[in-house]
Amino acid sequence: MPTFKYKAINKNGEKIQDNYTAKTKVEVLTMLRQNNYQPISIEEIIEGQHTLSLNFMNKVKTKDISIFCRQFYTMLNAGITVLNCLDTLKTQTENKKLRSVINQIYEDVQKGLTFSESIRKYNDTFPDLLINMVEAGEVSGTLDIIMERMAVHFEKENKINNKVKGAMMYPLILSIVSILVVVFLLIFIMPTFVGMFEGSGVELPLPTRILLSISETIQTYWYILVAFLIALVFLVKRYITTDKGHFFVDHLKFKIPVLKDLTQKVVTSRFTRTLSTLLTSGIPLIQALEIVAKIVGNVVAEKGILNAKEEVRKGVDLATPIKQIGIFPPMLDNMIHIGEESGALDDVLEKTANFYDDEVETSLQKMTTLLEPLMIILMALVIGAIVIAMVLPMFKMMETVNT
């Protein structure tokens, strides 16, 4: 009987991880639900194989989900049944992993499961937001409308993700180029240039000797340095995947001056847009907050939203605990208060989300404008220092000749 590794959230909102022996993933899912656990992922452990995989090559991205929802809505709106929609999508979906999952969902629906029951089995592929919205759409008979809302939601989410990645691309490329230039100067240029002066009997200046030592170290022990860097990257990535490391990184994003404003606005945009979508579709506020907590993409915000959910459960208005979290801009709790007072919280949240979508773009432009000159100055200082260290022996030799 196979063993499955699962991750879930318990009653207290804490993440748990363990192994469970069962015949299928469905049995593991049933066990988790019986214990009131919210499943995150379930993976089969195959003996004799390492858990390291290359799933990132076929990772289901937000763009794939948005296309899936848009195509599903288009076919439903044209009067095609859910089963026929799945039959079409399982052949024309480009992403291999998503195509395989859709094929399995198609088979489940053929066997008599509802679409929402089947899609919930693959929560490692589909976001919790989509799973719960599909269930709400089936219950209310408005699955086509729900899929259209989900298409719009994930299209906006994909747009924000692309803007963030695009803004970080230039600093990343500039950093890599700077490192390569420095390594090239130290390994190839520095020894050749300095070699011209060693025969003259001139004592090399201290900066030149230091750089020469660094150059010799890199050339002699390059394999140790490469192994060290690989080990360092592996350890850092492993630490980040832990709960403690994940929390540390997400907390740091709210502390670094350059990232603080951007992180705050991205989290606020996701929070307001997702909560608005859920409330508009008839999802109760308590359940909606639990779903939103997993969507915002920041552990600090997630814990704050889950605490806010418990306060709302006790009868407190939403604006108060949201303000107490301390990571959202002051405008948000004011807008939530207005929405609760007017009875139009979903509409107010949608307007707020649109506002912060624009604010994210503005923050990205500011960050890029600030980072570009800083990176160029830093690159110039480092390369300039190396060039000066290589030129210093020339001045030393000229002084010797003059004396």
Query: Following DSSP, what letter does each residue of 156-209 receive, concatenated?
Result: HHHHHHHHHHHHHHHHHHHHHHHHHHHHHIIIIIHHHHHHHHHTTTPPPPHHHH
**pLDDT for the residue numbered 114:** 87
Token look-up 């670094």 returns 256
* SS3 label, residue 149: helix
Range name among 17-26, 56-65, 158-167, 394-403 with the lowest pLDDT average? 394-403
Residues in the chain: 403
Token look-up 């010797």 returns 400
Instruction: Give all strands (DSSP E) within 22-94, no chain letters.
Output: 38-45
Report d(CA 383, CA 211) in Å as an integer: 12
Where does the pLDDT of residue 69 fall: very low under 50, low under 70, confident under 90, or very high at 90 and above? very high
Where does the pLDDT of residue 402 fall: very low under 50, low under 70, confident under 90, or very high at 90 and above? low
Report d(CA 302, CA 388) in Å as an integer: 50
**pLDDT for the residue numbered 53:** 39
Residue 222 Ramachandran class (φ > 0 left, ψ -120 to 50 alpha, else beta)? alpha
Distances, alpha carbon 314 to alpha carbons 108, 137, 306, in Å? 39, 28, 13
Token look-up 């593991």 returns 28
**pLDDT for the residue numbered 197:** 64
Q: Is 241 exposed, middle or buried (0-12, 13-18, 19+ CB in 10 A)?
A: exposed
Q: Residue 234: is its pLDDT beyond 80?
A: yes
Residue 20 DSSP one-character state: E
**pLDDT for the residue numbered 51:** 39
**pLDDT for the residue numbered 54:** 41
**pLDDT for the residue numbered 231:** 94
Say what the pTM is: 0.68
Where does the pLDDT of residue 47 fall: very low under 50, low under 70, confident under 90, or very high at 90 and above? very low
Report d(CA 367, CA 224) in Å as an integer: 36
Q: Residue 83: is its pLDDT beyond 60?
A: yes
If you average pLDDT over residues 248-258, what whole number do you get? 87
Q: Residue 118: is its pLDDT beyond 50?
A: yes
pLDDT, one tens digit per residue, over 336-375 is: 999 999 888 989 998 998 898 888 888 888 877 887 788 8
| Residue bearing the bigger pLDDT, 152 or 34 | 152
Report d(CA 277, CA 220) in Å as an integer: 59
If you average pLDDT over residues 225-229, what whole number do you get? 91
Share of the chain above pLDDT 90, in %: 17
Token look-up 């407190």 returns 316
Report d(CA 77, CA 258) in Å as an integer: 45
Range name among 26-35, 55-64, 260-269 with the lowest pLDDT average? 55-64
Report d(CA 326, CA 348) in Å as an integer: 21
Where does the pLDDT of residue 230 fall: very low under 50, low under 70, confident under 90, or very high at 90 and above? very high
Tokens of 378: 């830093």
Q: What is the mean pLDDT of the chain?
A: 83
Token look-up 């090559």 returns 57
If you average pLDDT over residues 102-107, what whole number do you get? 90
**pLDDT for the residue numbered 48:** 41
Cα 296 to the center of its chain, rounded Å: 10
Distances, alpha carbon 79 to alpha carbons 108, 110, 143, 392, in Å? 21, 18, 12, 79
If you average pLDDT over residues 74-99, what whole number do you get? 89
Pick from 14, 77, 24: nearest CA to 247: 14
Report d(CA 184, CA 171) in Å as an integer: 20
Report d(CA 270, CA 275) in Å as an integer: 8
| Residue bearing the bigger pLDDT, 136 or 235 | 235
Residue 391: count other Cβ atoms within 10 Å of its Cβ.
13
Range name among 113-122, 177-186, 241-250, 364-373 with the lowest pLDDT average? 364-373
**pLDDT for the residue numbered 395:** 74
Q: What angle is formed at CA 341 by the lines to CA 336 and CA 345, rounded to 5 degrees?
A: 45
If you average pLDDT over residues 76-81, what whole number do you get? 90
1 and 35 Cβ atoms separated by less than 8 Å? no
**pLDDT for the residue numbered 399:** 65
**pLDDT for the residue numbered 168:** 78
pLDDT, one tens digit per residue, over 154-199 is: 888 888 888 878 877 877 888 888 888 888 888 887 777 666 666 6
